[in-house]
Amino acid sequence: MATTTINGQEVTVDDEGFMTVYDQWNEEIGKSLADAIGVDMTDEHWKVIHFLRDDFKAQGVTPTIRRVSTAGGVDTKRLFALFPKKPAKKMAYIAGLPKPAGCV
């Protein structure tokens, strides 16, 4: 556990850098997180991130890629294009959520 500063705001993160407190996130922080890992945020990216946050609030867990695709309505192929190589982890990181635990 560590406390780091993003955009002048104190943010609690785990050892890997993933945010651990839901309410500390805001879009500016999300943008900084995205910049840090080289993801250029477009409206499409934001739509996905907001889905992740809403779903986490409703379900209590970070949605898996499959859930983002089926419940969030974004094609899996598109997710790999928006967040290359490790989409699930990248999306969670930018959205200030824990890595998804589910297997699929």
Partner 1 sequence: MTDTVVSEMIVPSFDDDVETDRTLAIICSKGSLDMAYPGLILGNAALGEGVNVHLFFTFWGFDMITPGRMEHLVFSPVGNPATHIPAALAPLPGLAKMATSQMQKAMDELEIPPVPEFLELVKASGAKIWACRLSADMNHLEKEDLWDGVDGIINASDFIEMTDGAQLLFI
Rounded to the nearest whole angstrom, what is the least distance from the CB of residue 18 to partner 1 in the complex?
7
**Pairing between β-strand 2-6 and β-strand 9-13 as defined by DSSP bridges:** antiparallel
- Decide whether 46 or 74 has the Cβ nearer to partner 1: 74
**DSSP run (H or E) holding 3:** strand 2-6
**Which window, 20-28, 45-53, 80-88, contacts partner 1 (CB under 8 A)?**
80-88
Which residue reads 């974004």 in tokens?
Answer: 74
Which residue reads 């890992």 in tokens?
Answer: 37
Q: What sign for the dihedral angle of Cα 42, 43, 45, 49?
A: positive
> Does residue number 89 form part of the binding site for partner 1 (CB under 8 A)?
yes
Fill in the per-residue mask, 5 to 44: x = in contact with partner 1 (CB under 8 A), - = not in contact. xx------x-xxxx-------------xx--xxx------
> Does residue number 101 form part of the binding site for partner 1 (CB under 8 A)?
no
Tell me the catalytic residues.
Answer: 103
